[in-house]
Structure 1
Amino acid sequence: MNIVDVFIIVVYFIGIALVGFLGVKKAKSSEDYAIAGRNLSFFMYFGCLSALTLGGAATVGTAKLGYQSGLSGMWFVFSQGLGLIIISIFLAKKIFNLKVLTIGEMLEKRFSVEARLISSLVSATYTTMLTVTQIIAIGSVLNAWVKWDFSVSILVAGGIVIFYTVLGGMWSVTMTDIVQFIVMTIGIFFIMLPLSLSKVGGWSGLQDSIPSSYFDFSVMGGLDMMKSFLLYTLGIVVGQDVWQRIFTAKSLKVSRIGMAAAGGYSFLYAITVAIIGMCAFAVVPNIADPQHAFASIAIAALPTGALGIVLAGVLSALMSTSSGTLIASSTLIVNDVIKRLFLPNMSEKLFLIVSRLATLCIGLFSITCALWVQDVLAALDIAFAVLSGALFFPIILGFFWKKVTARAVFYSIIISTVVIGISLAFEGTTSIVPILYGLFTSFITIVVITLIEGLGKSTTKSVEL
């Protein structure tokens, strides 16, 4: 990269750190720190939710899939957008009216404190793994583009994310997300896509340069498409990071419309980045690691200055998601575990102190994990498999089946999590089997225990009569 591009990146890092620092003044209470005071307007809410959903895996991972499979590589991010639209239509009103900070709080109100604790630990594992995936992608991108050492890249960019998230919480995350949403939109849609297509001679040139199968939306195969739906659509529906954003909207109308808009934006993003990956295949067909597809086409197609802006856009996607999942993890741990079990009467001031310490610890842990795990999509698959398989049915059935019992939900989460972990160990992270086993185990456990308990109550009543 030219020195001008590197300068743009350095200035971008400094600017994001300063913007994030401004959020410190707004974080004066637990709700300010965790959900931005429930006060976001449509544009802020839509931009933040889009920036959260479309992170490093969405950018680097979709370009990789587009490089390998063509347009069918879009299904990964398309499934996430579908999850947002499903929430908007069926669940937004129920979630928004809960007036809680976490999924765990909802489960305690509906079932029991045990359900709250176990679900929060599972959700915190998921959000922490998502943070790890974004930090891995940051290291990969900076290593490929700027030629910084992978470890140095993670420490610099990850350190900035931790810095502003620890200080200002959701307000800092929101303010930086708006900047990052604008930068990533300009970088991907208005610079990267047109210049990548120009490099291959336009759409017709792209069609002449790559196999015709790359234009088939189903070439990935029905099994992988189903896997994307089971992992990412269901995972988005029950993800604490997404729920926490719903709580930030100032009204139900903003929540529903903003979420539907973010889902539509995700569809456009999925197709766009898949096409960029296809352009990479046409221009650089022999990349040793397909995970570098996006970086390779950018370096080949973009002029000085534009390359720096696009890289800033990619980093925006990575950093916005990592900060969102980081604050989600700390909120789960502080609100559902520390406050619920150990410090039930903590003051607002103490809540902020504990939240900042928890955010710092989780951030440092995520950076450490990122230095060991190198594959973005593998880490993401693990996170979504655990979340979708263990929490989807407890949450959805909790909303729509009044007879579900607290004991059924508690054991469902524990048993399905164990089943998923064992299946991942034997089948590998690329297999669809662990998520299917998890969903099946979760559903059967809830139904069987609920029916048994219902039968027991009926028998007791008969004996009393």
Structure 2
Amino acid sequence: MDWPLTIVVSLYLIGIFALSIYASGQVHDEADYVVAGRRLPLWLAWGTLMATWFGAATVLGAAEAARDEGVRGTLLDPFASGLALIVAGLFFAKPMWEMKLLTVGDFFAQRYGPRAELVASFLLIPGYLGWVGAQFVALGNLQEIFFGVPTAGGILIAAVIILAYTWIGGMWSVTLTDTLQLGVLLVGMLILGFSVFSHLGDGSPVDGVSRLFQETEPEKLTLLPEPGLPAAMLWLGTLASGMFGNIPGQDLMQRVFAANSAKTASRACVLAG
């Protein structure tokens, strides 16, 4: 076992739980727990949206897809999913925030009644499970790589940890830990990118980027579909499903509802996209 890495990760988790306990002090009622009392400023609303949208599954999955299929393989995630945030910010965030909802199901309850709310909730939950599962699988794979923990065990460990700190402080806990982890992720990605490109460029990251473009097949550098109607239809379907299919999700709308104003909700979505 890599003891230095284990110690660093342990300290990191202790910090996450300490932050969650602090966040629990902000919770006084149901709205505080579910939508952070609708008090998130722009930087926190942006942070939790960005961290949620571009998490472990995106970082690992998009990297693998780019390696195997080129830039075209990243169409669904992060490109289409990023566009979903922009579309939500431009057209949906303001009216949804002004309804003062706690869940997406509440929207259907207000508009169409409790039966519609029940049906909508049953339809939304299974779709959300797939996204959550992708995050847990990615985290399980990371634990197998770095600590030798079997993927199934890693998934269980990740689920217990995430559920625990979410339970402690609700949306306040999620927001603060999301923003902290986003900062760590961005710094880590910058360091990793600099290291990789420096290695490719024999010490020069600029030369490394140039070498990457020179040695990569041209067809792997385009986001556009392959020639032909079937490929174009598949490309458009993938783009549309990611751009519009993510908008009614509870993960996105809960963060919209948690912003301190409709303008903040809209801006946070657009900036995160």
TM over 0.5: yes
> In 2, Cα distance between the equivalents of 1:16 and 1:187?
17
Distance 2:59 2:170 in 1: 25
- Measured in 1, the distance between the counterparts of 2:6 and 2:200 equals 26
Task: Establish whether residue 251 from structure 1 lines up as the match of residue 272 from structure 2.
Answer: no
- Aligned ranges 1:347-386 → 2 under 5 Å: none
What is the percent sequence identity of the aligned residues? 29
Offset at 1:231?
2.4
- Structure 1 equivalent of residue 32 of structure 2: 32
- Following superposition, the deviation at residue 211 of structure 1 comes to 2.2
- 1:205-284 aligned within 5 A: 205-218=211-224, 221-263=231-273
Rg: which structure is higher?
Answer: 1
| TM-score (norm. length: structure 1) | 0.54
Shift of 1:244: 0.8
> How far does the alpha carbon of each residue in 1:402-445 deviate from its partner, in whole angstroms, 9 at most, with x for none?
xxxxxxxxxxxxxxxxxxxxxxxxxxxxxxxxxxxxxxxxxxxx
Q: Structure 1 unaligned runs (5+)?
A: 264-465
Q: Contact (CA 8 Å) 1:87, 1:237: kept in 2 or not?
A: yes
Asked if 1 retains the 8 angstrom alpha-carbon contact of 2:19 and 2:173, the reply is yes
- Decide which moves more: 227-236 or 173-182: 227-236
Distance 1:61 1:227, change over 3 A: farther
Q: Which residue of 2 is the match for residue 130 of structure 1?
A: 131
Letter in 2 for 1:142: Q
- The Cα of 1:228 is off from its aligned counterpart by 2.6
Aligned to 1:415: none
Distance change >3 Å, CA 61–CA 224, structure 1 → 2: farther
Matched residues in 1 for 2:188 and 2:233: separation? 33
CA contact (8 A) 1:69 1:219 kept: no
Q: Note the C-alpha offset of 1:14.
A: 2.2
Unaligned stretches of 5+ in structure 2? 202-207
For these two proteins, the number of residue pairs brought into alignment is 262
Amino acid at match of 2:222: D
- The residue that corresponds to 2:209 in the other structure is 203
Q: Partners of 1:245 and 1:182 in 2: how far apart? A: 18
User: Match of 2:224, SS?
Assistant: coil
Aligned to 1:338: none
Q: Which residue of structure 2 lines up, in the alignment, with residue 166 of structure 1? A: 167
Paired residues for 1:316-395 under 5 Å = none
Deviations 1:35-89 (A, max 9, x none): 0000000101111111111122211110111011222233121111111111111
- TM-score after normalising by structure 2: 0.89
Q: 2-side partners of 1:128 and 1:260: how far apart?
A: 25
With 195-204 and 136-145 compared, the bigger mean Cα shift is at 195-204
Q: Distance in 1 between matches of 2:235 and 2:23?
A: 40
Q: 1:90 — aligned with what? A: 91
Aligned to 1:103: 104
Q: Deviations over 1:302-341 (max 9, x none)?
A: xxxxxxxxxxxxxxxxxxxxxxxxxxxxxxxxxxxxxxxx
Judged with a 3 Å threshold, the aligned counterparts in structure 2 of structure 1 residues 60 and 170 are, in CA distance, closer, same or farther, namely: same
Q: Which amino acid aligns with 1:239?
A: G
CA deviation after TM superposition for structure 1 residue 144, in Å: 2.0
Contact 2:66 2:73 in 1 (8 A): yes
Q: 2 CA distance for matches of 1:187 and 1:152?
A: 25
| CA–CA separation in structure 2 for the residues paired with 1:121 and 1:28 | 29
Cα contact 1:102–1:244 (8 A) shared by 2: yes
Alpha-carbon RMSD across the aligned residues, in angstroms, is 1.8
Per-residue CA deviations over 1:124-149 (Å, capped at 9, x if unaligned) read: 22223322221111101221233222
8 Å contact 1:57–1:137 — kept in the other structure? yes
**Which whole-Å CA distance do the structure 2 matches of 1:224 and 1:64 have between them?**
20
1:128 counterpart letter in structure 2 = L
Shift of 1:112: 2.3
